[in-house]
């Protein structure tokens, strides 16, 4: 199944965060908790699938000279849709993610997939690609957010994991902790891949 292949490549082999190292700005900034990571991941996935569908459908109509502005308009529209819906129905998450919701527009994963994949492929593969890349992105943000939340606040998805005596390792919640956690996770993944091959 080639559709399954397009979906699966985003999960590990071409994972946007851990393999392509794309979209790191929101990744590092919002992953102070697993919940924020998930919220950002879902929002990005929605935009990614939506823009991949529209770009793929319009790929023959858009002249290559104006493709970048056209892609950006399409992406920005989906981002605004996400932002309005999140403010209307998930207000707390909207307030927590703040400025990083509108900034999804400039997440290079999305423009990257529109340019490299959706503009050259038919509807179904483009959808599978967007869904896979988005899921991989969400997983990466969830794992990073979970690690930082677990050691930085001693909770996971808001539930206390360690006893009350646990002294949180604050550094992981602060911005430098994002880089450190990310680096350690990357090293772990590389180790895993080297051992396997």
Q: Which residues bind other proteins (CB under 8 A)?
A: 32, 58, 61-63, 65-66, 69-70, 73-74, 76-77, 80-81, 84-85, 87-89, 91, 152-153, 168, 170, 173-174
Residue 65: alpha-carbon gap to chain centroid: 28
Please state the closest distance from residue 32 (CB atom) to other proteins, in A: 6
Nearer Cβ to other proteins (23/152): 152
Nearer Cβ to other proteins (12/169): 169
Please state the closest distance from residue 195 (CB atom) to other proteins, in A: 35
CB 133, CB 107: distance < 8 Å: no
Nearer Cβ to other proteins (50/132): 50
Please state the closest distance from residue 87 (CB atom) to other proteins, in A: 5
CB 25, CB 103: distance < 8 Å: yes
Please state the closest distance from residue 1 (CB atom) to other proteins, in A: 32
Nearer Cβ to other proteins (1/99): 99
**Cα–Cα distance measured from residue 56 to residue 51, given in angstroms and rounded to the nearest whole number:** 8
Nearer Cβ to other proteins (111/139): 111
Please state the closest distance from residue 120 (CB atom) to other proteins, in A: 18
């Amino acid at each position: 199944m080639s559709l399954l292949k397009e979906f699966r490549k985003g999960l590990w082999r071409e994972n946007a965060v851990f393999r392509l190292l794309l979209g790191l700005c929101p990744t590092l900034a919002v992953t102070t908790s697993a919940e924020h990571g998930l919220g950002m991941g879902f929002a990005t996935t929605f935009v990614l699938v939506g823009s991949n569908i529209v770009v793929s459908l319009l790929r023959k109509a858009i002249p290559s000279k104006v493709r970048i502005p056209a892609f950006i308009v399409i992406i920005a529209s989906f981002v605004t849709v996400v932002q309005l819906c999140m403010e209307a129905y998930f207000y707390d998450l909207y307030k927590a993610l703040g400025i990083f919701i509108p900034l999804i527009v400039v997440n290079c994963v999305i423009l990257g997939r529109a340019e490299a994949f959706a503009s050259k492929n038919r509807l179904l593969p483009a959808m599978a690609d967007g869904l896979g890349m988005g899921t991989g992105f969400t997983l990466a943000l969830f794992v990073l957010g979970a690690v930082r939340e677990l050691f930085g606040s001693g909770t996971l998805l808001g539930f206390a994991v360690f006893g009350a005596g646990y002294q949180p390792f604050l550094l992981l919640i602060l911005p430098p902790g994002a880089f450190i956690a990310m680096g350690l996770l990357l090293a772990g993944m590389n180790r895993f891949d080297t051992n396997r091959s």
